[in-house]
């Protein structure tokens, strides 16, 4: 029998000699599992070890490699110290330990909690272990969240990175102190704006003097920073200046909680409404005095363009510079609207910049749309080649699968409740344990009922959209022979547009339209 040993540790071990060394706890897990395998007379196929990974992380590298090798039947047994070392999610317990592993002919064993898939009698205990681990994850997430909320409400800085112009106080945890070198630049930005300089002009001035932007400054100083995902990340941008001028942190107010996690099972975050942010005044020394702050905010308010329904630009967030990839900004001159590269004036060596009037781009899009529509209609290939809702069919299949999976899991909870009652009658578990476990099972069952109801509503909406899209020819024909575009049409048809600079000789301007169909 070939055995695959899996070890995992979720905490940073202080006794590591280097970042590449396994922690002592991992070594202890390996020693225990190796000795157990030797005593059983099993051949060790491989040892898979994930150090510093949470049990809810499905992207653990060695864990994923283990699952791949398991699917290829490279071993017969998966051996862990505890079931929670393998996963803390009940869904993963059901999917692999009780689902795919038996299909692949693989036995799962965890030593400490006596989980063994060859023992049919302890499946229920494995499921309960999975539930307990799932509750542990949720409770731990809520506990951590409550601690963070409390610290935010008390004005403690809990972010991984200090705001540009500040550093983390080495003496007091959660306190910020001024980084004078960067603070000078912050004061200069506010002063220049108060003197009438625009945000782009300020960015260009800083770039021409070789002043590194916040990310590059922190990198040069050996400070922690968040790696930028865009090009030319060493330059100051319009948006960096804009964000700085509106940040209350610079007047000594701690502002946190702008983003919140979607779920304890994912690291993804989403923006939170401003009224839900945590604001505490006077938590650290201000860089900008109140008078200058008030002056800048008044100017920002004066220059801000009021937004009303229908005023959003025709190609807003759709047109991009072909050379740097940044979204083009709109401008108005003599009653006409134009789109220009947002980075073309940031510095002397910045992007060569793209520029086009909105009316010319609109005409180019209409011409290309008419050309494509006519070509498809003339060839009689519209039904096969144009699919506006190309992802709806796959989404319908996915939603149907999700509903079926949730119903199966709901049935498992129902069976679990039935088996718990039988165990109580037989005296296997106490009345108190039965009440607690049945309560949790019932809550999970009811939660699934609501999830199934919501998913079925979503499926109905997808079915409705698919039905509307059956006659694709009629759908496309409504966009033929257009004289003007509107924002809903642009949203529906266009993913994004790349705009280049006009060739002075040929007078041609490269334009790439990326459609949604």
Contact (CB, 8 A) for 49 and 26:
yes
d(CA 442, CA 417): 8
The helix or strand, by DSSP H or E, that contains position 78, with its residue range, turns out to be strand 77-80
The domain locations on the chain are: 2-149, 154-303, 319-384+482-515, 389-468
**Can you list the residues of the chain whose pLDDT is less than 70?**
10-24, 55, 121-147, 224-233, 260-269, 303-312, 344-350, 375-392, 465-480, 517
Q: What is the pLDDT of residue 310?
A: 40
What is the fold, at CATH topology level, of the domain defined by 154-303? Hect, E3 ligase catalytic domain fold (3.90.1750)
2-149 and 154-303 in the same fold = no
d(CA 85, CA 425): 33
What is the fold, at CATH topology level, of the domain defined by 2-149? Rossmann fold (3.40.50)
d(CA 85, CA 109): 11
The model's pLDDT over 279-336, given as tens digits with 9 standing for 90+, comes to 899 999 999 999 999 999 988 887 655 433 344 578 887 888 888 777 888 888 887 8
Dihedral sign of CA atoms 414, 125, 83, 47 in order:
negative
d(CA 261, CA 145): 10
Q: What is the pLDDT of residue 307?
A: 39
In the chain the first and final C-alpha atoms are separated, in Å, by 53
d(CA 402, CA 175): 46
Q: What are the CB-based long-range contacts (under 8 Å, 24+) for 355-362?
A: 355/501, 355/502, 356/319, 356/499, 356/509, 356/511, 358/313, 358/314, 358/315, 358/330, 360/509, 361/315, 361/319, 361/497, 361/499, 361/511, 362/314, 362/484, 362/485
Q: What is the pLDDT of residue 261?
A: 66
The runs of H, that is alpha helices, within 41-179 are: 61-71, 83-86, 90-92, 101-103, 123-153
Q: What is the pLDDT of residue 187?
A: 95
The model's pLDDT over 263-281, given as tens digits with 9 standing for 90+, comes to 555 556 677 788 888 889 9
Class of residue 270 by CB neighbours under 10 A (exposed 0-12, middle 13-18, buried 19+): exposed
Any idea which residue has 């869904």 for tokens?
91
Per-residue tokens: 513: 């339209």
Using DSSP, state whether 143 is helix, strand or coil: helix
Q: What is the pLDDT of residue 144?
A: 59
In this structure, are strands 269-271 and 278-280 parallel, antiparallel, or unpaired?
A: unpaired
For residue 512, give every residue at least 6 positions away whose Cβ sits within 8 Å of its Cβ, in sequence order, or none.
322, 497, 498
| Residues above pLDDT 70, as percent of the chain | 77
3-state secondary structure 397-452: HHHHHHHHHHHHHHHHHHHHHHHHHHHHHHCCCCHHHHHHHHHHHHHHHHHHHHHH
d(CA 418, CA 132): 19
Contact (CB, 8 A) for 338 and 313:
no
Q: Phi-psi region for residue 232, left (φ > 0), alpha (ψ -120 to 50) or beta?
A: left
């Amino acid at each position: 029998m070939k055995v695959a040993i899996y070890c995992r540790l979720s905490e940073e071990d202080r006794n590591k000699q280097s970042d590449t060394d396994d922690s002592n706890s991992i070594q202890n897990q390996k020693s225990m599992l190796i000795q157990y395998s030797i005593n059983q007379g099993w051949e060790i196929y491989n040892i898979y070890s994930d150090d510093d990974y949470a049990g809810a992380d499905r992207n653990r590298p060695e864990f994923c490699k283990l699952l791949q090798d398991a699917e290829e039947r490279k071993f017969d047994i998966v051996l862990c110290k505890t079931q929670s070392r393998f996963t803390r999610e009940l869904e993963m317990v059901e999917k692999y330990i009780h689902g795919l592993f038996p299909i692949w002919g693989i036995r799962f064993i965890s030593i400490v909690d006596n989980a063994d898939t060859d023992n049919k009698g302890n499946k229920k205990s494995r499921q309960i272990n999975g539930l307990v681990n799932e509750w542990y994850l949720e409770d731990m997430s809520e506990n951590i969240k409550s601690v963070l909320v409390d610290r935010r409400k008390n004005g403690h800085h809990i972010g991984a990175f200090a705001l540009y112009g500040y550093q983390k106080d080495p003496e007091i945890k959660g306190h910020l102190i001024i980084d004078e070198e960067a603070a000078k630049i912050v004061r200069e930005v506010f002063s220049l704006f108060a003197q009438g300089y625009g945000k782009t002009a300020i960015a260009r001035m800083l770039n021409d003097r070789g002043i590194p932007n916040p990310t590059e400054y922190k990198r040069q100083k050996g400070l922690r920073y968040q790696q930028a995902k865009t090009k030319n990340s060493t330059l100051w941008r319009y948006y960096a200046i804009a964000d700085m001028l509106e940040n209350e942190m610079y007047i000594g107010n701690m502002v946190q909680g702008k983003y919140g996690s979607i779920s304890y099972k994912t690291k993804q975050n989403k923006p939170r409404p401003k009224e839900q942010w945590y604001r505490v005044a006077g938590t650290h020394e201000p860089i900008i005095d109140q008078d200058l702050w008030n002056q800048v905010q008044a100017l920002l308010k004066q220059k801000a363009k009021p937004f009303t329904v229908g005023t959003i630009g025709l190609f807003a967030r759709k047109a991009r510079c072909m050379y740097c990839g940044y979204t083009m900004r709109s401008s108005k001159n003599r009653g006409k609207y134009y789109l220009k590269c947002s980075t073309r004036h940031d510095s002397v060596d910045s992007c060569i910049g793209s520029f086009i009037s909105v009316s010319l781009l609109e005409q180019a899009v209409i011409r290309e749309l008419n050309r494509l529509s006519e070509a498809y209609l003339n060839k009689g290939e519209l039904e096969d080649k144009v699919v506006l809702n190309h992802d709806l069919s796959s989404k319908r299949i996915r939603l149907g699968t999700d509903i079926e999976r949730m119903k199966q899991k709901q049935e498992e909870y129902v069976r679990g409740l039935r088996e718990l009652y039988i165990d109580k009658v037989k005296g296997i578990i106490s009345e108190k344990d039965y009440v607690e476990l049945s309560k949790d099972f019932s809550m999970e069952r009811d939660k699934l009922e609501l999830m199934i109801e919501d998913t079925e509503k979503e499926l109905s909406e997808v079915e409705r959209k698919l039905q509307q899209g059956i006659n694709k020819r009629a759908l496309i024909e409504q966009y033929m022979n257009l004289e003007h575009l509107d924002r809903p049409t642009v949203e529906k048809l266009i993913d994004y547009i790349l705009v280049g600079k006009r060739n002075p000789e040929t007078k041609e301007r490269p334009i790439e339209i990326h459609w949604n169909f």
